[in-house]
Amino acid sequence: MLIPYGGVISIGDDFSLNPYSVLYGHGGLSIGNSVRVAAGCVIIPANHVFSDPGTAIRAQGLTKLGIVIEDDVWVGANVTILDGAHISRGCVIAAGSVVRGQTEPLGIYAGVPAKLIRKRGRIETREVAQ
């Protein structure tokens, strides 16, 4: 999909996007297969440059590092994914989190900024006394 302000959004198969989410393509947005994006998410592969206090922010340009979301990812409600983020295969991103940088495969991330809480996988069960 070509974006009128520049950039490209690439979306794999079996993708779902819920209401009130925003996706931009400025620096390139790549979304894999079987990705779920809940309501109210903001995924923008660009960011304002603001390093020179003597120049208006609007005149300093943008970074355009891009965003990659690999296969089988669930992005919870109201998550923000920042320029340069790379969400690895099988991750779960908790509602309200802010993601930047690289995640580990099968990681469960939460917080601002999002941090690894634990890995997906075998769930230990306890026997219930009768």
- Domains contained in the chain, CATH given: 9-118 (2.160.10.10)
Distance CA 19, CA 100 (A): 23
Q: Can you tell me whether residue 44 is helix, strand or coil?
A: coil
Phi-psi region of 84 (alpha: psi -120 to 50; beta: other; left: phi over 0): left
Tens-digit pLDDT profile for the chain (130 aa)? 555 457 899 999 999 999 999 999 989 999 999 999 999 999 999 999 999 999 999 999 899 999 999 999 999 999 999 999 999 999 999 999 999 999 999 999 999 999 999 999 866 555 555 5
State yes or no: is 86 an active-site residue: no
Distance CA 48, CA 26 (A): 12
Q: What is the pTM of this model?
A: 0.88
The active-site residue, picked from 48, 115, 119, 120, is 48
